[in-house]
Amino acid sequence: MNRYGAEFFGTFWLVLGGCGSAVLAAAFPEVGIGLLGVSFAFGLTVLTMAFAIGHISGCHLNPAVSLGLWAGGRFPAKDLIPYIVAQVLGGIAAGGVLYLIASGKAGFELSGGFASNGYGEHSPGGYNMLAALITEVVMTMMFLLVILGATDERAPKGFAPIAIGLCLTLIHLISIPVTNTSVNPARSTAVAFFVGDWAVTQLWLFWVAPIFGGMLGAVVYRFLCGEEK
């Protein structure tokens, strides 16, 4: 249970830190952190939690990562469902805390998006569904490639959290304009749960694409690097 608890609180931190930066700080008058700040916020949540709970649960914080690690031979199938449930519940709990904070300001409306992921008219840059699908698949594939490579026993020791956190930062820098960046079904569900409406209708893409991309990343890594020694 300690591993599932670690995944719950780790995903809680990812959603509160990442989505919280987007909702509360991205456009704050005069000192807003903008796209660059939000990108670093997501990366820092993973980097800090990887050091904090990596030795407990592996710090997946993401159903696509858990499934990708399973496809890469790094994670047992029996733990998939408990991990994914813990991740989704942790994300929703963070979404609830974020809602309580954000709604304390006059004029707050969930219709503003609440950091939800979307495509078409709900894409920050107006990108269509195909562009969103390709973006989420490719970004999650590269994320898993970095995770598997950085945590390979042949890789330099102790640097994996830094590589993984910076990779997630880079992913956000590239793809926030397209989908608001998911690469994580738990993160997407966490805010869509409160927004409802279009965010729930489009949520399917932010489960299907990251999961497919994560498993594809595992296949690519095994092809490139062969069996681990």
* pTM of this structure: 0.93
pLDDT, tens digit, for every residue of 6-16? Answer: 999 999 999 99
39-76 exposure pattern, b = at least 16 Cβ within 10 A, e = fewer? bbbbbbbbbbbbeebbeebbbbbbbbbbbbbbbbebbe
Residue given tokens 């999650």 in the structure block: 140
Show the 3-state SS of the chain. Answer: CHHHHHHHHHHHHHHHHHHHHHHHHCCCCCCCCHHHHHHHHHHHHHHHHHHHHHHHHCCCCCHHHHHHHHHCCCCCHHHHHHHHHHHHHHHHHHHHHHHHHHCCCCCCCHHHCCCCCCCHHHCCCCCCHHHHHHHHHHHHHHHHHHHHHHCCCCCCCCCHHHHHHHHHHHHHHHHHHHHCCCCCHHHHHHHHHHHCHHHHHCCCHHHHHHHHHHHHHHHHHHHHHCCCC
pLDDT, tens digit, for every residue of 45-86? Answer: 999 999 999 999 999 999 999 999 999 999 999 999 999 999
Encoded tokens for 197: 């409406």
What's the total number of domains in the chain? 1
One-letter amino acid identity for 62?
N
How far does Cα 196 stand from its chain's mean position? 19
CA distance 50 to 68: 17
Give me the mean pLDDT over the 183-188 stretch.
98
Q: Is residue 71 within 8 Å of residue 50, measured between CB atoms? A: no
| Domain CATH number, residue 210 | 1.20.1080.10
Q: Is residue 148 within 8 Å of residue 228, measured between CB atoms? A: no
Give me the mean pLDDT over the 18-24 stretch.
93
Residue 196, number of CB atoms within 10 A of its CB: 11
pLDDT, tens digit, for every residue of 108-146? Answer: 888 878 999 999 999 999 999 999 999 999 999 999 999
Q: pLDDT at position 26, please?
A: 85
pLDDT, tens digit, for every residue of 192-226? Answer: 999 989 999 999 999 999 999 999 999 999 998 87
Domain that holds residue 33: 3-225
